[in-house]
A = this chain, B = another copy of it.
Amino acid sequence: MSKINVAVLGATGSVGQKFIELLANHPWFELIEVAASNRSAYKKYGEAANWFMQTPMPENIKNMEVKECIPNLTAKVVFSGLDSGVAGEIEEKFASAGYTVISNSKNHRNDVNVPLMIPEVNADHLAMLKNQSTGYIVTNPNCSTIGMVTALKPLYDKFGIEQVNVVTMQAISGAGYPGVPSLDIYDNVVPFIDSEEPKMEKEPLKILGKLNSSNKVEFADIKISAQCNRVAVIDGHTECVQIKFKKKPTKEEIIEAWTSYRGEPQKLNLPSAPKQPIHYFEENKYPQPRIHRNLEGGMAVSVGRLRECPLFDFKFVVMSHNTVRGAAGGTILIAELMKEKNLI
């Protein structure tokens, strides 16, 4: 089987770098082009990028010439890690030109015909692409949404959910690079992340929604309140979640629902899919970002501290890797799902 050629837009940014790291040696995809802003275009990638991943820059990428973000790339599948200031328009141009754009940017997440995908949660939403023409735009949710919704999904299916309350402690890598100045976050908590809370309150409703016969989403009926904080952690968003169920389960039923959950990526055995999407930890002090963020290559979601709540039914902690599961890794998993579904 020959590999599918892919490109990365916004390749010098933090999500772009993570794409490059995760696509090195990918069994199905061959990264043949990197594109970025005019400032970087026509330079060698090794010179254009301030590489800060924890593995060295792949040798074959170092000398790749950075291209402009215009739809004259050879690869027909492009991963977008573009800044939201420019992502909207560029992604549309690529789609109009027949490219398949799988994007980590927020711009098109709320478009009526654009699927907002967590492959383990709403693989069926790919049917929304029937309402798109020419090329495709598919989007990955916000990094803080993904961990939470993955943990909600099996509970939503089995017990119904009426209310979700979430308070996050989010990693600095979520803000990109250069992102958060060290003087702002060291020995500190910043109790605000611009436009993060509305995303967490709205995106889950689309992701957990059902497709109707016209392949439009009927949004889930859940009331969500989110409070988002930045803490001094490099990778891994930790979230305190409280749930009011339609039909209150027992603690054991919840844990069983989590640990037994398998989605399409597991059934299809996709290369980036974690064997077990949700891991439950019995130890009171777990999950923790530094210890669990790299579980199953950073693609698993960790939960723990499940206990009854005086105000809601249950409360627990969920943690996931924000730039792997929550960004580049999740986006690549979407592409893998699309390939298996013959959509790319």
Contact = CB atoms under 8 A, between A and B. Distances in A.
B223 A311 contact: yes
Contacts of A187: 186-187, 232-234, 289-290
A157 to B, nearest CB: 22
Contacts of A242: 165, 225
A241 to B, nearest CB: 9
Contacts of A177: 181, 183
Interface centre among A182, A225, A288, A319, by most chain B C-beta atoms within 10 angstroms, is A182
A30 interface: no
Given A187-B233, A238-B229, A192 B294 contact: no
Contact of A317 (B54, B191, B289): B191
Interface in A187-244: 187-192, 194, 201, 223-225, 227, 229, 231-234, 236, 238, 240, 242
A178 interface: yes
A287 interface: yes
A231 B287 CA distance: 14
A53 B53 CA distance: 20
Interface centre among A234, A240, A242, A294, by most chain B C-beta atoms within 10 angstroms, is A240
Interface in A31-81: 52-56
Contacts of A286: 191
* Identical copies of this chain, number: 4
Nearest to A292: B56
12 contacts: A52-B291, A56-B292, A56-B295, A163-B311, A169-B231, A172-B186, A182-B182, A187-B187, A187-B232, A188-B290, A189-B289, A191-B319
A148 to B, nearest CB: 14
A139 interface: no
Given A189-B288, A191-B317, 7 more contacts: A167-B240, A172-B182, A182-B232, A201-B310, A223-B310, A227-B240, A227-B317
Contacts of A169: 169, 189, 229, 231
Given A225-B242, A227-B315, A311-B163, A182 B190 contact: no
A203 to B, nearest CB: 14
Interface of A: 14, 52-56, 163, 165, 167, 169, 172-173, 177-192, 194, 201, 223-225, 227, 229, 231-234, 236, 238, 240, 242, 284-292, 294-295, 304-305, 309-312, 315, 317, 319
Contacts of A182: 172, 179-182, 184-186, 232
A285 B231 contact: no
B311 A183 contact: no
Nearest to A285: B192
B165 A172 contact: no
A321 to B, nearest CB: 12
Contacts of A163: 311
